[in-house]
Amino acid sequence: MNKSYLQEDLLRMSGVNPRKCMQCGKCSATCPAYDEMEYHPHQFVSMVKNGDIEPLMKSQSLYRCLTCFACVERCPRSVEPAKLVEAVRLAVIRQQGANRMTANDIPALLDEDTPQQLLVSAFRKYTK
Amino acid sequence: MQRIGVFVCWCGSNIAGTVDVKAVAEALKAEPGVVFSTDYQYMCSQAGQDMIKESVREHKLTGIVICSCSPRMHEATFRKTAAAAGLNPYMVEIANIREQCSWVHKEMPIGTEKAIILGKAAVAKVNLNTPLTPGESPVTKRALVIGGGIAGIQTALDIADAGFPVDIVEKKPTIGGKMAQLDKTFPTLDCAACILTPKMVDVAQHEKIRIFSYSEVSEVKGFVGNFDVTIKKHARYVKEDVCTGCGACVEKCPMKKVPNEFNLGMDNRPAIYIPFAQAVPKVATIDPNACNMLKNGKCGLCARVCTAGAIDYKQQDEYIQEKYGAIVVATGFNPISMDKFDEFAYNQSKDVITSLEFERLTNAAGPTAGKLLRPSDGKHPHTIVFVQCVGSRCDSCAQKGKEYCSKICCMYTAKHAMLTRDKYPDTEVYVFYIDVRTPGKSFDEFYRRAVEEYDVHYIKGMVGKVTPQGDKLKVQASDLLSNKQLHIDADLVVLAAAIEPDKSARPLATMLTASMDTNDFFTEAHPKLRPVESPTAGVFLSGTCQGPKDIPETVSQAGAAASKVIGLLAKDKLKGNPCVAHSNEQMCNGCSSCERVCPYGAITYEDKEFRMPDRTTAIRRVAAVNPAVCQGCGACTVACPSGAMDLRGFMNEQIMAEVDAICK
Ligand SMILES: Cc1cc2nc3c(=O)[nH]c(=O)nc-3n(C[C@H](O)[C@H](O)[C@H](O)COP(=O)(O)OP(=O)(O)OC[C@H]3O[C@@H](n4cnc5c(N)ncnc54)[C@H](O)[C@@H]3O)c2cc1C
Ligand code: SF4
Ligand code: SF4
Ligand code: SF4
Ligand code: SF4
């Protein structure tokens, strides 16, 4: 995928404006998963801002984030780094293949034990 | 019919580069009333002005149109030129063909066409101009300074030294403000008290200065040169002129457990108190919320021990009326509340303190007599973490802090860190910063000394959270330069809290009709060229009420405000602006629409007797504009549903003529 297109896509999906970041590092200071990460929350923000997205998509850091939202809560500039992490995860999943799920598949999957939220979220993730 | 002269300025290539000035002069010759039209390289130069004067005489001009830069730039210049040639200065109109034309257009034909249209509008207006004469009002030669911090003190001293009487209104029992609470001051490290208290004494002893302490301004009426102010003097239950400040009452008062605000609640004071040893005025004040005698009539000890007989439990609030020619606002700042910053555990641990509390903890007159001790257990702290920018530089959506940089905290944090390392070499001192901002004379050198000579650990990154654990504070932070997350076991954490204007500033601004920005800092008449004047005539700004500042900057601004006040008070009479609103009483129906929109409170209503067509008389309520208060903003003329309000110099008729000329 074209680099700037990917960047635009990430920003649209996450609703994050990485230009608001002042690189204070408070998100990384607060992150409980810091030591497990190769790229830390503040780096996520600056790398997305610089369009340096490929390394993020390949990094294990993506799956170390606990989505605890501590960084979102503490960021003085309302940047919301966790939402960017989630957007990059989505981008990875979407690139793994074309549409794996269509709206038509849903009725067959409906049963009492499956929470509907799960289907909605699966549909979001597995559909381009 | 007017005899109008048109003068088209080239402004070098500023205008002539995009506007064919000769074509403009030529086209305007054909406009009604124009008897002379020309162009020149620099109209504002001596030669240009002489040319205007010459033309007024030669062509017997009654009105002038200058096609040039914005009226903000040179309207005053050309009005003077006209006056020098014997013309009423209000017979001059400026067509702005620079800022609003040549600068915004790129192509000559378009620029020229627009310049001609703007010129035509100005000519149409001048045709309806009438000579105007500004009114005069006397000046009360006395100034009011609101707030007695270093800003208010310096302004008052400078005005008084020039010979004008000054009153200071200070809401606390003593003047001095925040500077009285500081220990040593950057960048020279002289002790705040040593340089402040002599000035406080100067104020107290100056024959031209009166101090109203424990007082507030409760009402302001009037206008520049003639303010009528009501000052509310709170009852302090001690006769100020009788109390000698001996402190016998303070010693004997049994109610000793009142949090001491001067030490930011880190120790206690009695119900009757003198804030600090060098207080001015040095008189006791009874805190009515703590005093047993005032609460339930039991005690009265202080009255018994006071040999001067100064205690008066029956004292009432007092209202004082005074007239002033000028008002200076010097209401200062406060650190913001830390309530919204749970991550730093300020409300959980006594050992997380603000920088202002740190000043008291290191001050010889503070709660620990100047020894740096932990508030929780009185032990000596070994590892101290300073956090900068707490609540400063925040995004407005975060709704926690302020968007601006508080400007003073980088420097005072360097001071705190340096002094700590100097006095206690056994300490490890960390400073977490986003950027170190130290512009200012000898400021960066000061910060580098903290790093290089005193080995303060400056770490680029923020603290994410502070968790009290046992007698330690677990600090989790990032070190961005070495790409690490740090975990420090600290004994004391010091937060450089953002500063904000005093909460009383907003209602005060409303009283003064002075404008404020979204952060409640007072706004200047011009951010660069009129930095100590408020847009409201006669109201001046001094110190941190206008924006974050350190002491050197506060003092310079205080002096600047004083010089503006002196300039005003030195005048016997003030010339007003004749372009003010007036209402046509025949048309006014007394609906109050205009009064509601007037931002300056210039409009009042009068009941007037009118002869009706049937020869009876009727009393009708009609609007009256006070020309000395009206600033000519024109809001009322738009609000008036009956078309009774009009603005001299900008009459509805004139504006319509301009619009017609543009649309022709
Ligand atoms: C922790 C800390 C350390 C600092 N260290 C330094 C330093 O080392 N060097 C340096 O140059 N600067 C330092 N500063 C900055 C310095 O304190 C300020 O620049 C200075 O105090 C500003 O003076 P001011 O008169 O504008 O405001 P203030 O000192 O706040 O004075 C305002 C006064 O107005 C009174 N007031 C407020 N509202 C009203 C009202 N409505 N009616 C009547 N009275 C009112 C207040 O009670 C107060 O007395 C430090 C600041 C802090 C917070
Ligand atoms: S906390 Fe916010 S502003 Fe600071 S580095 Fe992280 S994303 Fe950027
Ligand atoms: S949401 Fe993820 S990146 Fe943000 S603090 Fe939690 S674990 Fe760290
Ligand atoms: S009367 Fe009030 S102020 Fe005086 S000693 Fe008693 S409690 Fe203290
Ligand atoms: S002065 Fe320094 S510490 Fe204070 S807000 Fe500005 S950058 Fe932050």
Virtual CA dihedral for B513, B514, B515, B519, nearest 10 degrees?
-110
Query: Confidence class of residue A127 from pLDDT cuts 50, 70 and 90?
Result: low
Name the 3-class secondary structure at B49.
helix
Query: Confidence class of residue B612 from pLDDT cuts 50, 70 and 90?
Result: confident
Query: Confidence class of residue A99 from pLDDT cuts 50, 70 and 90?
Result: low
> pLDDT tens-digit profile of B351-371?
999 999 999 999 999 999 999
CB contact under 8 A, B483 and A74: no
CA B184/CA B191 separation, integer angstroms: 4
Asked whether residue B136 is assigned to any structural domain, the reply reads no
| C-alpha distances out from residue B132 to B137, B521, B576, B625, Å | 16, 37, 11, 17
In sequence order, what DSSP letters do the residues of B306-323 get, joined into one string? -TT--B-TT---EEEEEE
Q: Give the per-residue pLDDT at B404.
A: 97
Which region among B161-165, B181-185, B271-275, B597-601 has the lowest average model confidence (pLDDT)?
A: B597-601
CB B151 within 8 A of CB B542: yes
| C-alpha distances out from residue B115 to B36, B97, B109, B124, Å | 17, 6, 10, 14
Quote the mean pLDDT of chain A: 89
Asked whether residue B342 is assigned to any structural domain, the reply reads yes
User: Which is more confident, A93 or B401?
Assistant: B401
Asked whether residue B663 is assigned to any structural domain, the reply reads no
> pLDDT tens-digit profile of B159-173?
999 999 999 999 999
pLDDT for residue A98 is more than 70: no
CB A48 within 8 A of CB A41: no
Same-domain pairing of B322 and B382: no
Joined tokens for residue B289: 């919320």
Tell whether B483 lies on the interface with A, counting CB pairs under 8 A. yes
**Cβ-nearest to A30 among B395, B465, B480:** B465
| A105-110 mean pLDDT | 83
CA B337/CA B158 separation, integer angstroms: 34
Tell whether B474 lies on the interface with A, counting CB pairs under 8 A. no
B321: domain CATH number is: 3.50.50.60
> pLDDT tens-digit profile of B436-471?
999 999 999 999 999 999 999 999 999 999 999 999
Asked whether residue B546 is assigned to any structural domain, the reply reads yes
Q: At what angle do helices A116-125 and A81-95 cross, to 10 degrees?
A: 70
User: Which is more confident, B617 or B557?
Assistant: B557
Joined tokens for residue B391: 């609540």
Tell whether B405 lies on the interface with A, counting CB pairs under 8 A. no
CA A26/CA B459 separation, integer angstroms: 13
Q: Give the per-residue pLDDT at A123.
A: 77
Q: Give the per-residue pLDDT at A128.
A: 58
Same-domain pairing of B79 and B148: no
CA B330/CA B168 separation, integer angstroms: 10
Residue closest via CA to ligand 3's atom 6 equals: A68
Q: Give the per-residue pLDDT at A12.
A: 93
- Sequence length of chain B is 664
| B618-647 mean pLDDT | 91
If phi > 0 it is left, if psi is from -120 to 50 it is alpha, else beta; for residue B472 that is beta
| A39-52 mean pLDDT | 96
CA B382/CA A11 separation, integer angstroms: 45
Asked whether residue B537 is assigned to any structural domain, the reply reads yes
CA B529/CA B531 separation, integer angstroms: 6
Nearest residue on chain A to B486, judged by CA atoms? A29
CB B409 within 8 A of CB B436: no
Range of the domain at B149: 143-234+317-332+502-569
Which domains are seen in chain A, by residue range?
3-97 (1.10.1060.10), 101-128 (no CATH)
ipTM score of complex: 0.82
**Atom nearest to A81 CA in ligand 2:** 7
> pLDDT tens-digit profile of B135-153?
888 999 999 999 999 999 9
Q: How many domains does chain B have?
A: 5
CB contact under 8 A, A25 and B400: no
CA B213/CA B238 separation, integer angstroms: 13
Asked whether residue B547 is assigned to any structural domain, the reply reads yes
* Enclosing H/E stretch for B484: strand B484-490
At B578, the amino acid letter reads: P
CA B222/CA B323 separation, integer angstroms: 9
3-state secondary structure B7-33: EEECCCHHHHCCCCHHHHHHHHCCCCC
**Whether the bond into B281 is cis, omega within 30 of 0:** yes
Quote the mean pLDDT of chain B: 96
CA B147/CA B176 separation, integer angstroms: 9
| Nearest by Cα to B481 from B433, B439, B410 | B433
